[in-house]
Chain A
């Protein structure tokens, strides 16, 4: 590694230490097949419609972990689902009831549907945060 690259790496890690990192540990997946799909939201208006970020991770030992870097400190909500058959979507039955397990930050429960943004909302401080979500 040359000196310039080293300097850039040091600078970027220094910058990252001032932005917020969010670690999301998802558990409760039945079986090790498929992937966990994650979506991050930053407002009630966009909740479950327009995510700020999305990511996928293969299921391992009944769960998955996501490490999001350099987010502005603020208010967020996370939605995850276990795409057990890896078809890229949340499968639903004829009445639109989800057939694959889902989860939300704060483990916010829904009531015959997803929770409101307010129930899943959490504060991400500048020093970062680690959250857990259980798939149900």
Chain B
């Protein structure tokens, strides 16, 4: 081979390496739409195009003292250019606001205009890799190039943030939901991963963390009540895989690292690089709040964790609640994109960390469940009530269809099941002004009416969930399924 043809061959190989490596997205699209035609309830995972705005019809009576805006966020755009994402966590953030005032509920939904959303809208097709879908049509400068801003919507200090977990928060206008831009808390935190689960301190300020795929380091941030960066730390954490949430007590920051081995394979999406390894334990990493140094590591059987309730110090132990999943729940959560709902294998437990013995003990609180929340005023302190979604078993694939307030001391459940034709989303606890207990307030959430194909905001009295919703606010349309949200009282 002469030099000229060698170079030519080299150039051709280079072009091959840069060729679009989108995998099976057309197949995913076809598979989902075939499944949707057979099973209309899968519309919950359908693609959203454009904004939404509408008034809800009220059934029951909206409590007079429930006023404010319920901000929520979840993936809305799954399809573009004839292709569909592989994983539920991939879609572009669709921010929603339910405004509750004067006996009326108004809904608004709007896409977060991230760089990815703007670039791909202009191109008419996916350009960048998503969490579970490898796309290599355009280079990725940094984590914010691929920021989906699709996981949580946080009102904070008069501002509103759409949160992802691999990159920066994105600031939105709290009234119009219009995108203001990427949030930089400080110069040194520019482009840092900022998880979608910051923990608000009832005394003011918040804690959050961030992880970078393969970096094996955990970044910790303490942010003041007015958005000022108070403290940061970077802790080594070997074999770090996806860490979605954490939990905070008066003295500790607690992380659980599931036993995934992260494959270093550029031909796989981030999700697909996670290989479940049941030979390894789940690790509980406890960091002291005062020093931001590692205090102790505990081991638990190999299980996956997405979400935590709350943590509190009980003499020489720390107790917290979390939802445990058996096996590779990360991959299983994605299968709805091709129209296959994988029944969850989850349960909620209370964990007791005994520092003296080095043992972590789990006690069962509830069966199949997800989306734990507590009243904001008890965060980081002793709590006794945990809000959870559950599955009544009315649907064979164990869809989440019940709303529950669980007593974490005695396991008693105050719950309400919507039934087979419903799918419930995260419910949050909203205290009454000067609330005197953890049931002095409301449990507010969203439920999808699968038969009618519309979305409903629900309001329960936290003191009597089993009595059913005191009010339902029914939209004339279906709004995209959200992951997380927060109620900002007016």
**Shortest Cβ gap from A62 to chain B (Å):** 18
A33: B residues at CB distance < 8 A: none
Q: Which residues of B contact A94 (CB under 8 A)?
A: 188-189, 192, 217, 219, 232, 234
Query: Closest approach, in angstroms, between the C-beta of B450 and any C-beta of chain A?
Result: 39
* C-alpha gap A110/B192 in the complex (Å): 18
Q: In whole angstroms, how far apart are the Cα atoms of A29 and B486 in the complex?
A: 39
In the complex, are the beta carbons of B141 and A119 less than 8 A apart? no
Per a CB cutoff under 8 Å, which of B17, B139, B187, B189 touches A110? Answer: B139
* Contact-residue size bin, chain B (C-beta under 8 Å from the other chain): 20 to 34
User: With an 8 A cutoff between CB atoms, is A109 at the interface?
Assistant: yes
Mark each residue of chain A from 79 to 113: 1 if its CB lies under 8 Å from any CB of chain B, else 0: 00000000000000111111100000000111110
Contact digits for B4-21, partner A, Cβ 8 Å, 1 yes 0 no: 000100100010011000
**Complex contact A99–B187 (CB within 8 A):** yes
Q: For A123, what are the chain B residues with a Cβ–Cβ distance below 8 Å?
A: 7
CA A123 to CA B14, docked complex, whole Å: 14
For the complex, what is the distance from the CA of A136 to the CA of B145, rounded to whole Å? 11
State in angstroms the CA–CA spacing of A136 and B142 once bound together: 10
Q: Report A101 CB to chain B, min CB distance, Å.
A: 8
Knowing A97-B192, A118-B14, A123-B7 are in contact, say whether A111-B142 is a contact too (CB < 8 A).
Answer: no
B14 — which chain A residues lie within 8 A by C-beta?
Answer: 118-119
Closest residue to B234 on the A side, CB-wise?
Answer: A94
On whether the beta carbons of A95 and B266 are closer than 8 Å, the reply is no
Q: Which of B17, B18, B187, B192 contacts A95 (CB 8 A)?
A: B192
Q: What is the distance, in angstroms, from A71's C-beta to the closest C-beta of chain B?
A: 18
Chain B interface, >50% SS class: mixed
The answer, among B129, B142, B232, for a CB contact under 8 Å with A97, is: B142
Residue of A nearest to B7 (CB): A123
Those of B120-152 within 8 Å (CB) of chain A: 129, 136, 138-143
Q: Which residues of A contact B212 (CB under 8 A)?
A: 95, 97
Interface centre among B14, B141, B191 (most CB of A within 10 A): B141
A109 to B139, CA, bound (A): 4
B139 and A99 contacting across the interface, CB-CB below 8 Å: no
Q: How far is the CB of B136 from chain A (nearest CB, A)?
A: 7
Contact A112 B143 (CB under 8 A): yes
Q: Considering the chains assembled together, what is the distance between the CA atoms of A119 and B10 in angstroms?
A: 10
A112 and B140 contacting across the interface, CB-CB below 8 Å: yes
Alpha-carbon distance between A111 and B234 when the two chains are bound, in angstroms? 23
B104 contacts chain A at the CB level, 8 A cutoff: no
Residues of A within 8 A of B215 (CB): 95-96
Chain A's nearest CB lies how many Å from the CB of B51? 30
Q: CB distance A98 to B142 under 8 Å?
A: yes
Distance in angstroms from B127 CB to nearest chain A CB is 10
A112 to B191, CA, bound (A): 12
**Across-interface contacts of B10 in A (CB, < 8 A):** 118
Q: Does B190 contact A (CB under 8 A)?
A: yes
A93 touches B18 (CB 8 A): no
Kindly state the separation between the CA atoms of A110 and B140 in the bound complex, as whole angstroms: 6
Task: Judge whether B193 is part of the interface by a CB distance below 8 angstroms.
Answer: yes
Contact call A95/B138, Cβ cutoff below 8 A: no
Contact B232 A119 (CB under 8 A): no
Interface string of B234-271 (1 = CB under 8 A from A): 10000000000000000000000000000000100000
Q: What are the residues of chain B within 8 A of A109 when measuring CB–CB?
A: 138-141
B contact residues around A34 at 8 Å (CB): none
Neighbouring B residues of A99 by C-beta, 8 Å: 187, 190-191
Chain B residue at smallest Cβ distance from A136: B141
> Looking across the interface, which residue of chain B has its beta carbon closest to that of A119?
B14
**A115: Cβ under 8 A from any B Cβ:** yes
In Å, the complex CA distance between A110 and B141 comes to 6
| Bound form: Cα–Cα A85–B210 in Å | 26
Bound state CA distance, A123 and B10, in angstroms?
12
Query: CA of A3 to CA of B10 in the docked complex: distance in angstroms?
Result: 50
Name the residue on A nearest B266 (C-beta). A111
Assess whether B189 is in contact with A93, with CB atoms less than 8 Å apart: yes
Contact A93 B140, CB 8 Å, known A119-B14, A123-B7: no
The reply to whether A115 and B139 contact each other, CB–CB distance below 8 Å, is: yes
| Interface-centre pick from A94, A118, A119, A136 (highest chain B CB count, 10 A) | A94
What residues of chain B lie closer than 8 Å to A111, measured between beta carbons?
129, 136, 139-140, 266
- Give the residues in chain A near B234, CB-CB below 8 Å: 94-95
Question: How far apart are B36's CB and chain A's nearest CB, in angstroms?
Answer: 33
Q: Within the complex, what minimum Cβ distance (angstroms) separates B42 from chain A? A: 33
Minimal beta-carbon separation of B315 from chain A (angstroms): 35
Please give, as numbers and ranges, the residues of chain B lying within 8 Å of A93 by CB-CB distance: 188-192
Q: A95-B210, A118-B10, A119-B17 are in contact. List 11 more A-B contacts (CB 8 A).
A: A93-B191, A93-B192, A94-B188, A94-B217, A94-B234, A95-B217, A111-B136, A112-B143, A118-B17, A119-B18, A136-B141
Which A residues are closer than 8 A to B by beta carbons? 93-99, 108-112, 115, 118-119, 123, 136
List 18 contacting pairs A-B, 8 Å CB cutoff, sorted by A: A93-B188, A93-B190, A94-B219, A95-B191, A95-B217, A97-B192, A97-B212, A98-B142, A109-B138, A109-B139, A111-B136, A111-B139, A112-B140, A119-B14, A119-B17, A119-B18, A123-B7, A136-B141
